[in-house]
């Protein structure tokens, strides 16, 4: 897919929040904690749960880039929060706080055997980003991705994506497109960093007037491809792979999963992508490591007594069975957290979905995202049903289908359900 012929010109550096650069919202300051690859240790999750309880509103929000957010932070608590995050290893390079945006394939090794060790590559890339002082100037929206070979993360159109291939090479995808750039697995991290540095060589990127490789016009993108092709260890083939197929509607796995190596994992739906501190503590007790997914769920990649933990986590309010009503249901902050919102979208979403199982059989299925205004914060990548507050009800829209306006209540629930089941 070609880059935009008319690149957007930004007004200046993006205002993406971080752990040090907090965003003022109607309910207090919002802190976004980068979790490269969605990877967290037990100790880190425990620290975050305590911070949410002591310094925030008692919740941890999952984002579409597999990061975590705390809301309701008081101005005089920001320093304490930064200190706790730093001690837990969640702020390894303060200057690079907002640059550590790395998607990882969350089900690698859980439902399939990956072509490489995704978590190890994510950690190596994170370390390499933090070691390059100039990469601190990347916008908070610049995104790296480490795929497992199936293409789901490069389909999210990261600025720089690493896709291990069946031929043993790694494809370097830029803005979600394969340009035929190939390297060895041992060189992939170095080449990804080189791609970001070539992007930053454009003075507009440093000035904040372009934020992402996807902002570039086709000719500008072609210059980056040509420069990267001359990087040591990179070769270019004319046989570029086609764009990945748009994500098909489907149901993410939930429940106890049997890993290829015989151990067990547990995938959990999180109501509206929002964990309570108590739920986070319980997750931290269940397994030594946790992965946040871009669809705002949680995967415990390896644990013992998976059925027992599934039972306990279900009692704590998390979705642990196929058909969980919370599968694929997300919402922006809405009222009262966001002053722009026309409705308490979380409450309306909960009332609509809480008791309605998600269809798990054949046929279509669309994720649904509730939003309080046209900004559409946190809208997932790919086809999605948007439920937009209008002030006198909701507008329900899905790709390729007529938009309908419905009042809240039973008619809304029926409209949303119909739209999800019949994409």
Comparing C-alpha atoms, which of 349, 316, 318, 314 is closest to residue 335?
Answer: 349
Total residues contacting ligand SF4 by CB under 6 A comes to 12
- Residue selected from 367, 372, 380, 393 as contacting ligand SF4 according to rule CB under 6 A: 372
Give 193 or 332: the residue with its C-beta nearer to ligand SF4: 332
Tell whether residue 154 is a contact of ligand SF4 (CB under 6 A): no
Cα gap 111→113, rounded to integer Å = 7
Which CB, 289 or 397, lies closer to ligand SF4? 397
Closest approach, Cβ 419 to ligand SF4, in A, equals 19
Q: How far is the CB of 71 from ligand SF4 (least distance, A)?
A: 11
> By C-beta, is 287 or 388 nearer to ligand SF4?
388
Which residue in 49, 85, 333, 349 binds ligand SF4 (CB under 6 A)? 333
Contacts of 105 (CB under 8 A, 6+ apart): 114, 118, 146, 147, 148, 150, 152, 153
**Distance from the first to the final alpha carbon of the chain:** 24
Q: Dihedral (C-alpha) 58, 139, 130, 174: value to the nearest 10 degrees?
A: 110
> Out of 332, 350, 387, 396, which residue is the one contacting ligand SF4 (CB under 6 A)?
332
Instruction: Return the number of the residue (176 or 334) whose C-beta is nearest ligand SF4.
Output: 334
Q: Is residue 371 near ligand SF4 by the rule CB under 6 A?
A: yes
In angstroms, rounded to a whole number, what is the distance separating the alpha carbons of residues 251 and 327? Answer: 7
Q: Which of 341, 346, 348, 382 binds ligand SF4 (CB under 6 A)?
A: 341
Verify binding: residue 63, ligand SF4, rule CB under 6 A.
Answer: no
Q: Helix H segments across 251-332?
A: 277-286, 306-315
Span of 41-49, 243-251, 319-327, 328-336 interacting with ligand SF4 by CB under 6 A: 328-336
Q: Hey, is 142 helix, strand or coil?
A: coil
Classified as helix, coil or strand, 157 is coil
Binding pattern for the stretch 374-393 against ligand SF4, x by CB under 6 A and - elsewhere: -xxx----------------
Task: Please check whether residue 190 is in contact with residue 244, taking contact to mean a CB–CB distance below 8 angstroms.
Answer: no
Residue closer to ligand SF4, measured from CB, 149 or 372? 372
Q: How many Å apart are CA 331 and CA 352, to the nearest integer?
A: 12
The residue nearest ligand SF4 at its CB is 372
Whole-angstrom Cα distance, residue 276 to residue 326?
15
Task: Return residues touching ligand SF4 (CB under 6 A).
Answer: 332-334, 338, 340-341, 371-373, 375-377
């Amino acid at each position: 897919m070609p880059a935009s012929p008319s690149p957007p010109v930004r007004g200046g550096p993006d205002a993406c929040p971080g752990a040090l650069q907090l965003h003022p919202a109607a309910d207090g300051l919002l802190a976004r904690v980068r979790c490269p690859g969605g990877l967290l240790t037990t100790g880190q999750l425990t620290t975050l749960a305590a911070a949410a309880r002591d310094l925030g509103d008692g919740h941890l929000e999952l984002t579409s880039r597999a990061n975590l957010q705390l809301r309701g932070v008081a101005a005089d608590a920001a320093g304490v929060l930064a200190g706790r995050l730093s001690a837990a290893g969640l702020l390894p390079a303060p200057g690079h706080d907002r640059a550590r945006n790395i998607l990882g394939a969350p089900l690698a090794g859980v439902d399939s055997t990956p072509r490489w060790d995704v978590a190890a590559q994510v950690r190596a890339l994170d370390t390499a980003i933090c070691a390059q002082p100039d990469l601190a100037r990347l916008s908070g929206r610049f995104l790296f991705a480490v795929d497992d070979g199936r293409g789901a993360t490069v389909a999210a159109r990261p600025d720089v994506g690493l896709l291990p291939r069946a031929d043993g090479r790694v494809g370097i995808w830029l803005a979600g497109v394969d340009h035929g750039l190939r390297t060895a697995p041992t060189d992939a991290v170095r080449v990804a960093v080189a791609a970001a540095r070539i992007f930053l060589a454009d003075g507009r990127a440093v000035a904040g007037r372009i934020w992402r490789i996807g902002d570039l016009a086709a000719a500008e993108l072609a210059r980056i491809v040509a420069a990267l092709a001359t990087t040591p260890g990179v070769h270019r083939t004319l046989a570029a792979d086609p764009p990945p197929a748009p994500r098909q509607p489907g149901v993410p796995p939930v429940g106890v999963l049997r890993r290829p190596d015989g151990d067990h994992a547990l995938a959990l739906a999180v109501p509206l992508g929002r964990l309570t501190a108590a739920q986070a503590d319980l997750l931290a007790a269940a397994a030594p490591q946790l992965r946040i997914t871009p669809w705002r769920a949680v995967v415990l990649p390896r644990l013992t007594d998976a059925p027992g933990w599934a039972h306990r986590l279900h009692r704590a309010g998390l979705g642990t069975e196929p058909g969980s009503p919370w599968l694929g249901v997300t919402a922006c902050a809405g009222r009262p957290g966001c002053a722009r919102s026309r409705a308490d979208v979380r409450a309306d979403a909960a009332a609509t979905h809480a008791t309605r199982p998600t269809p798990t059989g054949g046929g279509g299925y669309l994720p649904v995202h509730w939003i309080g205004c046209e900004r559409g914060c946190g809208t997932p990548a790919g086809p999605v049903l948007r439920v937009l507050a209008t002030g006198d009800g909701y507008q329900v829209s899905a790709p390729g289908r007529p938009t309908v306006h419905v009042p809240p209540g039973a008619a809304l629930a029926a409209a949303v359900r119909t739209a999800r089941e019949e994409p």
